[in-house]
Amino acid sequence: MDSTYIESKTAYKTGWGKARWRRVSGLTPEERQAVRTGNTVWFAFRPWHYTQSGYKVITVYGDTFDSREPTPTELAAIAKAKGVSDGRGVSGLMP
């Protein structure tokens, strides 16, 4: 299945690591439906660690939305959507 990549301008992450209330908030109804149907919805965040890409892909488990680091393929698609195609890699994508 060819996934559609959608950038969320309103999403934000609360909780980190194994925090009990870790989730993604601020999603629009359209973005929530897109995640549920298998499309890739992503958002930018300020990385706390040098190994983080600065982007998160939203996942869903039941009615709870969470996030994860994008795969290299997803990161390349995000770079293409952001217009970064000069080979700078992740460092060229930092928000």
Is residue 59, in this structure, part of any structural domain at all?
yes
12 occurs within a structural domain: yes
**For tokens 């698609």, what's the residue?**
77
Say which residue, 95 or 58, is predicted with more confidence.
58
Q: Is 50 part of any domain? A: yes
* Domain count of the fold of the chain: 1
Percent pLDDT > 90 in the chain is 46
> pLDDT for 38-56, tens place per residue?
999 999 988 888 888 889 9
Residue 64, pLDDT score: 93
What is 13-48 written as a DSSP string?
Answer: EE--TT-TT-EEE---HHHHHHHHTT-EEEEE---S
Does residue 45 sit within a domain?
Answer: yes
Q: Is residue 87 part of a domain?
A: no
Give the residue numbers spanning the domain of 15: 5-82
Q: Which tens digit of pLDDT belongs to each residue from 19-36?
A: 788 899 999 999 999 999
Q: How confident is the model at residue 85 (pLDDT cuts 50, 70, 90)?
A: low
User: Is position 78 within any domain?
Assistant: yes
Q: Is residue 61 part of a domain?
A: yes
The conformational region for residue 30 under phi > 0 = left, psi -120 to 50 = alpha, else beta, is: alpha
